[in-house]
Amino acid sequence: MVVLSHTHEFPNKIPDRLPHQVIDAHHHLWRYSPAEYDWIDDSMSLLRRDFLPADLEATTRTAGVTRTVAVQARQSLAETSWLLKLASESPLIAAVVGWAPIASSTFPAWLETNATQPKLAGLRHVVQSEPDPEFLLQPVFADGICALTHSGLTYDILIFERQLPQAIKFVDQHPNQIFVLDHIAKPRIADSLLEPWATNLRELARRPNVYCKLSGMVTEADWTAWSPATLTPYFDVVLNAFTPQRLMVGSDWPVCLLATPYADWFTLVTQTIAHFSIDEQQRILSKTAKEAYRIA
């Protein structure tokens, strides 16, 4: 595991003065196989193992996390069913963001059968990997999102920053759908580039039906050389654009382990938001996730 620079030390736990409830709004679980997780290359070898609920429970205890949202890592109905089964057996996993064939003619029937499953909170498609830059704007995908809107489930937007213009148009087509932007749209942190990400993110944030996750930032930075100061300009943009009312914290565990230990990410976030009121901090740490994903 890559450790943080000795010049940036973090306390071992979330400070006691903070609100006690913390929801990790974005993590994964998997049984590893090279065929199904071929995106895990040699530079990510530490991810080439199983990450299961027992691992999650041990990990969350290190950060004071009390509940979580499990998010799809494979575009597979089998994985969605598996995550829902794990969630049904675990009080720690409060919600699941799964995958379903949104752009397929079979999607409405799947939705009718599955939308009311306990702990299914939303769906996600790996748009960042789609070769068509206009994928989100395809009529068949739009039809699926219209069906999703009627179900009450959220849709997580997973894109690179270059796809933000299409995402803005996409959101405008669906003003009644609740969206959650993953990983602050993956800005080019390793290249120290703020624009055009910052301008496009602020524009997307003007849509009140879009929430955003403070997640995935360390793995968009240089894994071995980033520091809290590296991330400060990106935190500043997103905190001002979305405000605590529409921000939630997520770890992107276990992927985050490529760049930071799990607890250190939550410590960094709590230090970054310490200037907000206790209620605003609680929005970011748990209340926004509860609202967006309808967590009881």
Q: Domain ranges in the chain? A: 23-293
pLDDT score for 9: 44
Mean pLDDT of 179-205: 98
Q: Which pLDDT band, with edges at 50, 70 and 90, does 8 fall under?
A: very low
**Closest CA relative to residue 219, chosen from 266, 264, 262, 259:** 259
pLDDT for 19 equals 53
With 0-12 / 13-18 / 19 or more C-beta atoms within 10 angstroms meaning exposed / middle / buried, residue 22 is buried
How buried is residue 132: exposed, middle or buried, by Cβ count under 10 Å (0-12/13-18/19+)?
A: exposed
What's the whole-number mean pLDDT along residues 12-34? Answer: 77
Residue 2 has pLDDT above 50, yes or no: no
Give the mean pLDDT of 77-96: 98
CATH 3.20.20.140 applies to domain 23-293: yes
| Three-state DSSP class for residue 294 | coil
Residue 191 has pLDDT above 80, yes or no: yes
pLDDT band per the 50, 70, 90 thresholds, residue 51: very high
Query: What confidence category does residue 231 fall into, taking pLDDT thresholds of 50, 70 and 90?
Result: very high
* Residue given tokens 């520091």 in the structure block: 227
Q: Supply the mean pLDDT for the chain.
A: 93
